[in-house]
Amino acid sequence: MTKNEFLSRFHHARTIPTEPDYPLHSAGKPAAVLMPMLERRGQLSMLFTLRSRHLKHHAGQVSFPGGKQEPSDNNLLTTALRETHEEIGVHPQCIEVIGNLPLYRTVSRYEVVPYVGFVQMPLELILDTNEVESVFEVPLNFLLDKNNHFIHWVTRKNAQQHPVYFIKWHDQVIWGATAAFVRVLSNHIASDAYSSANTIF
C-alpha cells in the first residue's frame, strides 16, 4: 500500500465501530500515543517500541511511543509528540500527523487517544534506553490483514466476554491496547468497506 492510497482510505466519512475497551466506571487518566508510519521505496511500515525490561509497568512489552498527559501539555496531540521525542528522539517537526483514532480505555485506567503520523525519512532515532529497549518495523499490509490477528477471549467480572488481540511478527508479539489500536486502524481503512464509501479528498 502506498502513502497516497493509505491517505485516501484514511480520510473518509464513514463511521467506524471501535474495538471493545475496558469499561471504566469513572473518568480515566488522559494519555496519547503516536502510531508512527514509515515510507520506504513506496511501501509503508509501522514502527513499534519494546519497553525496557526494568520498568515497573508493562516491562518488556511492545508498544507505541506515548504516555500520560502532563500539565504542561496543551492537548493530547502535544502529549503524543512530546513522548515520541523523549522516547525515540524524533522531533515533532519531523512528524506529519494525519489524524487520530477513537479514544480507548485500558485496564490500567488510562483513556488513550492514538494519533497516526508519518515520520520524515531518513529515519534518525535516539532511544531513551531507560524506557525503550529497542524498536522494530512491521509492514503495514501485514498489520492490516486480519488473518494475522489472533483473538483470545477473556471473561470479565460481569461474565461478559472480551476479545484480546495478538499480532505475531517474527519473535515479537503485539498485544493488548497496542494490538487493539492496529485492529481499529484496520477497520478504518478496510478496502471492502472503503469501496462503497463516500470519501473526502
CB contact at 8 A, 42 and 2: yes
Please state the pTM of the whole predicted model.
0.90
**pLDDT at residue 55 in the model:** 61
Q: How much is the pLDDT for 154? A: 85
Residues in the chain: 201
- Which pLDDT belongs to residue 159? 61
Higher pLDDT, 195 or 15: 15
DSSP characters over 61-79: -EE-SEEEPPTT-SSHHHH
Residue 32 · residue 66 · CB < 8 Å = yes
Q: Output the average pLDDT for the chain.
A: 88
- Any idea which residue has 524506557 for its cell? 131
d(CA 173, CA 176): 10
Residue 25: pLDDT band (50, 70, 90) is confident
CB 28 within 8 A of CB 168: no
Write the pLDDT tens digit of every residue in 113-123: 999 999 999 99
Q: What is the dotted CATH code of the domain comprising 3-141?
A: 3.90.79.10
Q: Is the pLDDT of residue 81 over 90?
A: yes
Percent of all residues in the chain with a pLDDT value above 90, rounded to a whole number: 69
Q: Which residue has the higher pLDDT, 45 or 162?
A: 45
Per-domain residue ranges of the chain:
3-141
Q: What are the CA-CA distances from residue 143 to residues 149, 161, 175, 180 (Å)? A: 8, 24, 12, 11
| DSSP-assigned states of every residue in 84-104 | HHHHH---GGGEEEEEEPPPE
- Window from 46-60, 75-89, 121-135 with minimum mean pLDDT: 46-60
Q: Are 6 and 189 in contact (CB under 8 A)?
A: yes
pLDDT surpasses 50 at 198: no
Q: Give the CA distances from residue 82 to residues 19, 37, 44, 71, in Å, rounded to whole numbers and listed in that order.
A: 26, 17, 23, 12
pLDDT band at 59 (very low <50, low <70, confident <90, very high): low
* Whether pLDDT at 194 is above 50: no
